[in-house]
Amino acid sequence: MFLRSVLHGQCLLIAVIILSVIVIIYFTITLEHLHRIYNILDITHLQDVLLSNSNPTPGRTIFFHETTCNNRSSEDSQFQVMNLTVRQACAIESAALHNPNFDVFVLFTCPTRRPLSIAQKSLINAIESYSNVQFRQLDVKRYAKGTPVEVWIKKGYVLKGRFPVHHTSDLLRLISLYRYGGIYMDMDVIVLRSLEDVPLNYLGAETFDLLGNAVISLKPNGTGHEIAELFLRDFQINYNGRHYVDNGPALVTRVVTAICGVKLVKAIQEDSKTCRGLKLFNSTAFYAIPWQQWEHLTKPQYLKDTMEKTKDSYLIHLWNKVSSRGLIKVGSNTAYGKYAEKHCPKSYAAAGEYF
């Protein structure tokens, strides 16, 4: 009886020890697993551009902005997952390819995480194979701190307008240039040649009496910084949330015309002599194909004529608002396809069947 009790006690002790070991192993594995998960979440969450150790280099940075967060309700906009189109990826890649000595910062306007899908990961990996590309997120109100629109933007006028995504983009490009100078580009372009040796402080004309704001270059100091401030003050004073272009091309045209003191057509002809050193390119530089002719970039019958018209351009602008429905088949004989294959080869290769 005594022996049986001893054996029973020993068995219980062994069972307790085994159970304790199992519990310790379980929690160790679980904690390690959770640690890995938290590390993954930390890695996949984009850094804030103002809090990151790697900041835009003043006067040596190309900026792109992704503002679709601003088309969501407050409940849905806590975070988003990166979901670039191949055309957006092409814009970023072509800028990085042709301007290796410039930083290329892609800024998202809400907390953003890296993609989970294989296709999107492949696209992002292709872009990040260029060492000068950086993806960051920003908080719009914090980003505006210290600028002329710091107080105004807190009132939320931009988000209450009819075009919150577009008008947020119109505003943020001006804030980025006020903060850092450099070059802003829309995400529906393909860069065809380097802009590294083009002196900062320039815009391009869409027509003889209208400037575009898809490409804006300003120095981080001096006249460039002063012009950025004028742009921001005009945005605040004349903001119109009901009309699509009033806070973009119309704004830069209005401010630059006042700076130059002459009609745009004359300012373009006189090559910055009347505009405080601000260079105004004619339409060939950035807008050789007007928006009304966007199909000339995506249809084979216009290939020869379009290539001729854009042979001296720094970039082509695709006018995404109207052209987004005009996908092209990879390998098709179109101007856009030819340019994409040459100037954003990795994005083009990752596009799949359509671009």
Under a CB-based contact definition with an 8 Å cutoff, are residues 278 and 272 in contact? yes
Q: Label the pairing between strands 210-218 and 202-207.
A: antiparallel
Residue 32 reports pLDDT greater than 90: no
- Better-scored residue on pLDDT, 308 or 166: 308
- Stretch 285-314: mean pLDDT, rounded? 97
- Chain centroid offset of residue 34 CA: 33
Residue 13 reports pLDDT greater than 70: no
pTM, 2 dp: 0.85
- Better-scored residue on pLDDT, 335 or 68: 335
Q: Give the per-residue pLDDT at 41.
A: 42
pLDDT band at 279; cut points 50, 70, 90: very high
- Better-scored residue on pLDDT, 293 or 156: 293
Structure tokens at 151: 């107080």
Q: Per residue in 176-235, pLDDT tens? A: 999 999 999 999 999 999 999 999 999 999 999 999 999 999 999 999 999 999 999 999
Tell me which of 41-50, 209-218, 293-302 is least confident.
Answer: 41-50
- Stretch 343-347: mean pLDDT, rounded? 97
Under a CB-based contact definition with an 8 Å cutoff, are residues 292 and 323 in contact? no
3 state SS of 114: coil
Burial (CB count <10 Å: 0-12, 13-18, 19+), residue 129: exposed
Q: Where are the domains of the chain?
A: 61-349
Question: What is the rounded distance in angstroms from the CA atom of residue 135 to the CA atom of residue 125?
Answer: 12
Backbone angles phi, psi at 184, to 5 degrees: -105, 140
pLDDT band at 12; cut points 50, 70, 90: low
**CA dist 183 → 10, 203, 219, 273, 300 (Å):** 77, 10, 9, 21, 32
Burial (CB count <10 Å: 0-12, 13-18, 19+), residue 42: exposed
Mean pLDDT of the chain: 87
Residue 129 reports pLDDT greater than 50: yes
Q: Give the per-residue pLDDT at 54.
A: 92
- Stretch 318-334: mean pLDDT, rounded? 87
- Stretch 319-332: mean pLDDT, rounded? 85
Q: How many CB atoms lie within 10 A of CB 301?
A: 11
Question: What is the rounded distance in angstroms from the CA atom of residue 89 to the CA atom of residue 190?
Answer: 10
| Topology at the third CATH level for domain 61-349 | Spore Coat Polysaccharide Biosynthesis Protein SpsA; Chain A (3.90.550)
Question: What is the rounded distance in angstroms from the CA atom of residue 194 to the CA atom of residue 126?
Answer: 20
Under a CB-based contact definition with an 8 Å cutoff, are residues 283 and 206 in contact? yes
Q: How many CB atoms lie within 10 A of CB 349?
A: 13
pLDDT band at 333; cut points 50, 70, 90: very high
